[in-house]
Structure 1
Amino acid sequence: MIASALPEAARDCHAPEELLIMTRTTRLQDLIRVLRYHPGPIGGPELAERLGITLRILYQDIATLRAVGVEVVNTPGQGYVLPPEIALPPAALAEPAPWEPAEITFYTHPLSRGGIVHWMLEELGVPYRTVILEYGSTMKSPDYLALNPMGKVPAIRHGDVVVTEAAAICAYLADAFPEAGLAPSPAARGDYYRWLFFAAGPLESAIALNDLGVQPTAEQKMRLGCGDYWALIDTLAAAVEGKPFIGGGAFSAADVYVGSHLGWGMHFGTIPRRPEFEAYWEGLRMRPAYQRCEAYVEQVLAGG
């Protein structure tokens, strides 16, 4: 994560263990109290501010509560709530279950599809370590090829789990960190999955073919999963028309992925600048997490 964008406490990923142990019980009790008496759901940033902690610590404390049977519910687009029937187990809080988040290592190049995952990580608000790989050299090193035999970025390692392909990484991270609210509830994931993988499959394939000047015949279009380029563009324009988010009523990993492709495509001319696309992208590109990613790329291009 970009250090300058982090609160001071969040930059210190190795705070003294005795301090964490000493304050955890009080933090958990305060968290329960706020959730119990707050009138309705409360968003993660507001909850963290009320408790005087970082989002990272909030996510850890919520995971600790869940580990001991206190099921804090997160409703995407609304926030956290503690169901009234949930009873707090005092013994469990007295000695919280140990919980140490697995480290995320992010393998990327600043001028690559890794920018999609970079944005996703910034939206999560969790700590991660970035490893910059160079085209043709370190991307093809034996160590990295052991992680991704394709020798491409992005990729992540989350503890013992390795995930490649930007869309897969976005979907994985949304599920691995449900507290961030970047995926709808399972029952409401129809559009979320549809457009996330529509962009990862047909959209990217059609853009590549069109950019290379390949104009498939009618018979070839039937054999291609992406079909006709302009039919695809029309379909996507209809999907985002008048909508701030493509996967439901709240921002999600699908917006990170689809938005990235539309933003880059319009910038580089591989996707037409339709009013529907521009309106949708304008609402996404001003998000603070995306702006931090943009500032990072600008710094790299400036030689910083």
Structure 2
Amino acid sequence: MSRTNRLQDLIRVLRHHPGPIGGPELAAALDVSLRHLYQDIAVLRAVGVEVVNEPGRGYVLPPEVRLPPAALAEPAPADGPAALVFYTNPLSRGGIVHWMLEELGATYRMVTLEYGAAMKAPEYLAINPLGKVPAIRHGETVVTEAAAICAYLADAFPEAGLAPPPAARGDYYRWLFLAAGPLESAIALNDLGVAPTPEQAMRLGCGDYWTLVDTLAEAVAGRPYIAGDAFSAADVYVGSHIGWGMQFGTLPRRPEFEAYWAGLRERPAHRRCEAHIEQVLAR
């Protein structure tokens, strides 16, 4: 069954059921799994159909809720603009993906989730079982983890030119995933005051914090971009970590980092993301 038919059936059952209906009962009525049900409810909410979950009672579609045409339309192809939904919180790593989306110039719908109940609701756990943001839904594809999302989007929208040609992706993959793995782990350990001994560092995938700092500084020294002669998704991810790291004191303000970040932070796409955060904080 297509998603269009699933959404139509879901709305029909909710509209005609006398009162709230529990998730298992609703899934059984639709002949879908609970996971598919939660994902479809998340899709409806993403396009503006507010399906209400009454605690202890179940789901209900309030009679005053209007159904936008997009809720019943056939989803766009996997690379179509209407198919891209971005789940985030402005004060999260979702900012990395937001910047990436703005660099792409893609059309997307942003769904902002508050920390706490909204991220742990079954509808969102069907998107990301960890209950964390960011995540994206692109057509039928769900991707979580900021680095993975950046890499995926660069490939899904090749016209944006945010990934090098496959034969030239050595540095691109190397630094993108070094920042996502060893760098994040080392920063977290250092920020928590954990100083592994040399023997312990050998057992850690991240190794030694200061060795990582030196390695990353050398990688960006005298270079506007980290993976070749053009800006890429690796710069979005690595640049975000360097910018945030210096801002919050988890990375030292080394001249190499300052120069590299100065060349990225004024990009129009990044400035739009900063303006969005400023608006949110002002509210």
- Give the structure-1-normalised TM-score: 0.67
- Which residue does 1:178 correspond to in 2? 158
Matches within 5 A, 1:40-59: none
| Partner secondary structure for residue 196 of structure 2 | coil
Equivalent of 1:270 in 242, 250, 253: 250
Match of 1:124 in 2: 104
SS of residue paired to 2:111: strand
- The amino acid across from 1:164 in the alignment is T
Distance 2:242 2:80 in 1: 37
Query: CA RMSD, aligned part only?
Result: 0.9
What's 2:188 paired with?
A: 208
The answer to whether 1:110 aligns with 2:90 is yes
- Residue of 228, 233, 238 corresponding to 2:208: 228
Aligned match for 1:199, one of 179, 182, 187: 179
2:63 maps to none
Q: Please state how far the C-alpha of 1:238 moved relative to its aligned partner.
A: 0.2
Partner of 1:252: 232
1:42-81 matches, cutoff 5 A? none
Judge conservation of contact 2:81–2:107 (CA < 8 Å) in 1: no
Q: Secondary structure at the match of 2:85?
A: strand
What residue is the counterpart of 2:259 in the other structure?
Answer: 279
Once the 2 structures are TM-superposed, how far is the Cα of residue 100 of structure 1 from its aligned partner? 4.7
The secondary structure found in structure 2 opposite 1:156 is strand
1:286 maps to a residue whose letter is E
SS at match of 1:216: coil
In structure 1, C-alpha distance between the alignment counterparts of 2:129 and 2:208, rounded to whole Å: 31
Matched residue type, 2:199: E
Residue 14 of structure 1 corresponds to which residue in structure 2? none
Runs of 4+ off more than 4 Å? 99-102
Give the structure-2-normalised TM-score. Answer: 0.72
Letter in 1 for 2:252: P
Distance in 2 between residues matched to 1:147 and 1:219, nearest whole Å: 39
Aligned to 2:147: 167
- 1:237 aligned residue (203, 206, 217): 217
Deviation at 1:103, TM superposition (A): 1.2
Residue 125 of structure 2: aligned partner: 145
Unaligned runs of 5+ in 1: 1-98
